[in-house]
């Protein structure tokens, strides 16, 4: 709906027209002014137009609120990245993936470009343990290898 701005303007026009008619009817009744006589078929169309305008306005408001919320989250992530909080943003991302502390440490070493052998040496563990942790990381991120993991991280954090 947001891709077609004319739909938004048509909705606004229907709402304003119906609202103006109903407001005039109320004010005319209170002030004793002449009302706008409409045949019952036309009055039904005005009622339908007002109802549709209210419902579509509520739907559009919800869509805009969800879109704005998503955009705010992206903007906050971008602000944090530009404010030098890259580590915190990536740690938040790892937390959302459900990584354990050990998997988080391995993921950081992967991001730094280290091999499985180097990671095992730094963590004083076996290479097989690191390999199993990498497999768990990839499974939780729903990817199958290191390059896909990097791509997903960049896409989810920066985009």
The whole-number pLDDT of residue 116 equals 93
- Mean pLDDT, residues 125-154: 94
Cα–chain-centroid distance for residue 52? Answer: 26
The reported pTM is 0.52
**Residue 114 backbone zone (phi > 0: left; psi -120 to 50: alpha; other: beta):** beta
Q: Is 6 a residue whose pLDDT tops 90?
A: no
Token couple for 4: 């077609």
First to last CA, the chain: 23
pLDDT of residue 145: 92
In this prediction, residue 1 carries a pLDDT of: 47
Instruction: Give per-residue pLDDT as tens, 93-126.
Output: 999 999 999 999 999 999 989 999 999 999 999 9
Answer yes or no: are the C-beta atoms of 77 and 116 closer than 8 Å. Answer: no
Q: Is 4 exposed, middle or buried (0-12, 13-18, 19+ CB in 10 A)?
A: exposed
pLDDT of residue 40: 83
pLDDT tens, position by position, 33-88: 888 788 888 888 888 888 888 888 888 889 889 988 888 887 777 777 666 777 88
Does the pLDDT of residue 159 top 80, yes or no? no
Element housing 146 (H / E): helix 146-158
Annotate 104-119 with three-state secondary structure. Answer: HHHHHHHHCCCCHHHH
- Please count the helices (runs of H) and the strands (runs of E) in the chain: 7, 0
Residue 2: pLDDT band with limits 50, 70, 90 = low
φ and ψ of 148, to 5 deg: -65, -40
Tell me the C-alpha distance between 22 and 74, whole Å: 42
């Amino acid at each position: 709906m947001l891709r077609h701005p004319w739909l938004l303007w048509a909705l606004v026009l229907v709402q304003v027209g119906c609202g103006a008619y109903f407001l005039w009817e109320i004010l005319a009744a209170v002030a004793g002014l002449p009302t706008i006589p409409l045949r019952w078929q036309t009055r039904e169309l005005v009622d339908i137009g007002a109802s549709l305008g209210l419902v579509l306005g509520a739907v559009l408001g919800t869509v805009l609120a969800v879109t704005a919320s998503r955009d705010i989250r992206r903007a906050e992530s971008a602000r944090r990245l530009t404010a030098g909080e890259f580590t915190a943003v990536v740690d938040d991302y790892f937390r959302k993936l459900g990584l354990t502390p050990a998997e988080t440490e391995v993921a950081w070493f992967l991001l730094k470009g280290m091999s499985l052998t180097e990671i095992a040496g730094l963590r004083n563990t076996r290479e097989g343990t690191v390999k199993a942790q990498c497999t768990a990381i990839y499974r939780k991120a729903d990817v199958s290898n290191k390059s896909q993991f990097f791509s997903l991280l960049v896409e989810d954090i920066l985009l």
